[in-house]
Structure 1
Amino acid sequence: MLVSRFPAALALTLSASGLFAAPVNLDQPSSLDRPSYFAPEKSPAQLWRQDNHPVSLTEDAPAPKVPPADKMYAESLEPGLLAPSAEMYGAGDCSTGSCYDECFQDCFCPTWFAYAGALAMTKDRGNEVWLSNDGGDFSARVMGSEAAAMGWNAGYELRFGRTFACSNWAWEVDYWAVRGTNEHTVTNAGLVGALDTPLDTNFQGLSYNGSNVDAYYNNAQAHRLQRSYDFYNIELNVFQDPTLYTNRCGGGCFQFGALAGLRYFKFREAFSFSTDPSDYNFTGTDDELHYNIDVDNNLIGAQLGMIMNYNWNCWNFYAKTKFGAYGNAISQNSVMYGNLGTAYIDNAMSPNNGRAYNVSGSKGRVSFLGELDLGAEYQVTKRFSMNIGYRVVGVSGVALATEQIPQNFEDLGIVASTPSNGDVILHGGYLGGQFVW
């Protein structure tokens, strides 16, 4: 009985192992009425082209998602999607602080820019040289050289330039000028004594129309001081300004740029101290005498600078610095004259006896100039902006008119030497607008 059952069991075991060992035909549906979970067999030629995504183990699995970066790249290749859209950067309303479309526009890249503005500037007060005093009270100083100091005077500024290949590097030509005059007159009315001058000791040895100059300036009826100041500036700069085309960075950040260029700066000053021994009015009569000094400083040289910006939407707050060393060509003329001619040296002991007091001199030296601009700019439209600021210009090593007054008017060599150790600080505000195209 046991023997008869062994062959039957062996046959059943062999049949089962043969069933699992036999190859499965994947191209035919399974005898089981259900989908296959095995990937179809592919030929070697198809293997290198197959998708690298993992095989889904679920029925009818969706296609794999494309990474966002790849999607943006693919979309950027479609026409019309090469530039950022308004949706990406917000609305273009400058009043709301979102300036992308309205102020900056996609691919907005003008070539030229021009600026025009108004200036209101003044000069620092220099060392006082006393010109008039009360002869009856030597402690009463009636008029000094700063009585006609430069006040606040109007000027203007013009600037234009061009960019380098649609970048924030550009060149520019900048020109500005400020001119001013002032006048002050004193009389002997209300004085304890006569209207005299502390310069009478300096005037010793000078004569006019046969009389010593002291006779005209001492015991006078009126003294008048007139002064004029002219400042001219022209620059050729190459600079980098991150905000040149209103490339604001939005919610507030600092940006820096550089500047290098050439500069010509001219400072001209005129000084006239007049006396009238007869009356209070200067009408050009023969007894009126005038002591004039004209000084001209011409600085030319190279400069370096830095541009610093803080952006907040359509606003830009900036600081600009410039500094340079300049060759200064200085010239001056000193003369004392009236309707009857020029005053002259009248001292037989002097080697300059008989020479007219009309002296000119010139010299060259190295001067230094520094400038600081502080201001704010508002982007009105994508092409037009307005700014307001304050400028300080400091110059050292210049000739000033009051420095040309000698201790001894007979020493014409000292007068011609043209002292030039003065300093000038010019400062004031400005308002203007810039247009780009």
Structure 2
Amino acid sequence: MLVSRFPAALALTLSASGLFAAPINLDQPSSLEQPAATARPNYFAPEKSPAQLWRQNNHPVSLTEDAPVPPPEDKMYAEALEPGLMSSPSYDNNCPTAACFDECCQDCFCPTWFAYAGVLAMNRDRSNEVWLSNDSGNYAARVMGSEAAGMNWSAGYELRLGRHFGCSNWAWEVDYWAVRGTNEHTVTNQGLVGQLDTPLDANFQGLTYNGSNVDDYYNNAQAHRLQRSFDFYNVELNVFQDPTLYTGNYYGGNVTFGALAGFRYFKFREALDFASDPTDQVFDGSPDELHYNIDVDNNLIGAQIGMIMNYNWDRLNLYAKTKFGAYGNAISQHSIMYGGAGTAYIDNALSPNNGRLFDVSRNNKGRVSFLGEIDLGAGYQVSRHFAVNIGYRVVAVSGVALATEQIPQNFEDLDIVSSTPSNGDVILHGGYLGGTFRW
């Protein structure tokens, strides 16, 4: 009886032990099929005790391949898997500047193009005055000088177009502005002690117009008239850092700086016409009216550098811009004395220029001139696309030809007339108001 029960007990023991053994991976060769040197158990999990095994969850096994676990040394990838780091940031219309510097620029407003249009009101400094009319009975009473028709406040306009480099605050721009002014002043012989004469009569000797000496037209005249015109044109191509680009991104005071470099073309043209009428006080183009006209043209072209400083407070920014450069100046000048009866000429047998017309031109006289500019202004960001600007600008130019400097002491010496002195200075200053649109 005992012998017959032993095989049954042995079978029951072996079956029970099989319940606690880890299953063998049938897809892999068993350790019996591997060489002895490399044979090792190949299990899905390390061996566990029966108590640990029974505590495991009995969830269905996924047949899909598990994602690879990042290696420990790939720290950046592992940190990216942490909750919250993979979410995309969101920005409002005034997103942080750092976000706008991002080349992606997907979640904030990063303008690329910008355009500006505005008006100018500018004036120039007074130059050295040249006296043109006097009272022959009272030499202390200076009747009219060159500044009697000097430039007054004149209107102009400014246009600007540019583009930022991607999402940075570096940009290029083309800037054009122009200011033009004219003025006129007339004096008559009424109320004078003597006659209406000119201090230039000694200079005019030797010139003849319509059969009479020029002095006969300017001395003892009924009226003298002075007309002057002033034209300023400016074109610039600059590359610069725009510290005002992200106005409205800061809620406290913030000071930023930007560099600037570029090229400028600056044109300054000035004309003067001193006319006399010996018969009446109305200038109507009659042959007895005589005109002395001077026209000078300065064309400056060269490179410039500068700096932009901006102080920002929320939507408001205060800025200062400086520019300076050395320029080649091509100067042209034309002097002529004429009337309805023709052009005055030199009538002096002792002069080497006897018989020549007083019609002198000089083109493209070259010299080096300097130009500096300062802009002080304020801007307010009305919306993310539009801002208004108001400011004051000063432009100083040295080494230019002025009309009043072309009046010679001897009108018979045409070489002196054509020499075109060019050591004058001009300071142009005034305010501006405009708006900038960015898109």
What's the TM-score once normalised by structure 2's chain length? 0.78
Aligned equivalent of 1:298: 299
**Shift, 1:166, TM fit:** 1.1
Q: Is the Cα contact below 8 Å between 1:337 and 1:343 reproduced in 2?
A: yes
Aligned equivalent of 2:262: 261
Aligned CA distance change for structure 1 residues 237 and 88 (closer, same or farther; 3 Å) = closer
Q: Which residue identity is paired with 2:277?
A: D
Aligned CA distance change for structure 1 residues 83 and 351 (closer, same or farther; 3 Å) = same
**Shift, 1:210, TM fit:** 1.1
Residue 155 of structure 2 is aligned to residue 163 of structure 1: no
Superposed CA offset, 1:60-92 (max 9, x none): xxxxxxxxxx899731413xx423469998xxx
Distance 1:240 1:88 in 2: 19
**Shift, 1:265, TM fit:** 0.3
Aligned equivalent of 1:308: 309
Aligned CA distance change for structure 1 residues 287 and 179 (closer, same or farther; 3 Å) = same
Residue 84 of structure 2 is aligned to residue 83 of structure 1: no
Distance 1:216 1:88 in 2: 74
Q: Aligned to 1:278, what secondary structure does the other structure show?
A: coil
Superposed CA offset, 1:283-311 (max 9, x none): 11110000000000000000000000000
Q: Of 52, 69, 83, which aligns to 1:74? A: 83
Aligned CA distance change for structure 1 residues 178 and 86 (closer, same or farther; 3 Å) = closer
Distance 1:86 1:210 in 2: 79
Q: Is the Cα contact below 8 Å between 2:254 and 2:311 reproduced in 1?
A: yes
Residue 275 of structure 2 is aligned to residue 274 of structure 1: yes
1:18-29 aligned within 5 A = none
**Shift, 1:225, TM fit:** 0.1
Aligned equivalent of 2:66: none
Distance 1:149 1:71 in 2: 72
1:352-371 aligned within 5 A = 352-362=353-363, 363-371=365-373
Q: Is the Cα contact below 8 Å between 1:76 and 1:82 reproduced in 2?
A: no
**Shift, 1:138, TM fit:** 0.7
**Shift, 1:413, TM fit:** 0.0
Q: Which residue identity is paired with 1:159?
A: R
Superposed CA offset, 1:248-300 (max 9, x none): 43200211000000000000011000000011110111100000000000000
Aligned equivalent of 2:108: 107
Aligned CA distance change for structure 1 residues 212 and 167 (closer, same or farther; 3 Å) = same
Aligned equivalent of 2:236: 235
Aligned CA distance change for structure 1 residues 174 and 196 (closer, same or farther; 3 Å) = same
**Shift, 1:129, TM fit:** 0.1
Superposed CA offset, 1:80-113 (max 9, x none): x423469998xxxxxxxxxxxxxx9952112100
Q: Is the Cα contact below 8 Å between 2:80 and 2:86 reproduced in 1?
A: no
Distance 1:274 1:383 in 2: 53
Distance 1:393 1:73 in 2: 59
Aligned equivalent of 2:38: none
Q: Aligned to 1:201, what secondary structure does the other structure show?
A: helix
Aligned CA distance change for structure 1 residues 72 and 149 (closer, same or farther; 3 Å) = farther
Q: Is the Cα contact below 8 Å between 1:248 and 1:311 reproduced in 2?
A: no
Q: Aligned to 1:348, what secondary structure does the other structure show?
A: coil
Aligned equivalent of 2:374: 372
Q: Is the Cα contact below 8 Å between 1:131 and 1:198 reproduced in 2?
A: yes
Q: Is the Cα contact below 8 Å between 2:94 and 2:109 reproduced in 1?
A: no
Q: Which residue identity is paired with 2:244?
A: T
Q: Of 419, 422, 436, which aligns to 1:420? A: 422
Structure 1 residue runs without a partner (length 5+): 1-25, 29-48, 50-69, 90-103
**Aligned residue pairs: how many?**
358
Q: Aligned to 2:405, what secondary structure does the other structure show?
A: helix
Distance 2:297 2:248 in 1: 42
Q: Aligned to 1:428, what secondary structure does the other structure show?
A: strand
Structure 2 residue runs without a partner (length 5+): 1-48, 52-68, 70-78, 97-104
1:25-36 aligned within 5 A = none
Aligned CA distance change for structure 1 residues 313 and 105 (closer, same or farther; 3 Å) = farther
Distance 2:106 2:335 in 1: 60
Aligned equivalent of 2:409: 407
Distance 1:254 1:27 in 2: 72
**Shift, 1:246, TM fit:** 2.6
Q: Aligned to 1:146, what secondary structure does the other structure show?
A: helix
1:318-333 aligned within 5 A = 318-333=319-334
- Runs of 4+ aligned structure 1 residues displaced above 6 Å come to 70-73, 85-89
Aligned CA distance change for structure 1 residues 72 and 145 (closer, same or farther; 3 Å) = farther
Aligned equivalent of 1:199: 200
Distance 1:399 1:143 in 2: 22
Distance 2:94 2:430 in 1: 44
What's the TM-score once normalised by structure 1's chain length? 0.78
Q: Which residue identity is paired with 1:327?
A: G
Superposed CA offset, 1:348-403 (max 9, x none): 10000000000001310000000000000000000000000000000000000000
Q: Aligned to 2:83, what secondary structure does the other structure show?
A: helix
Q: Aligned to 1:349, what secondary structure does the other structure show?
A: coil
Identity rate, percent: 75
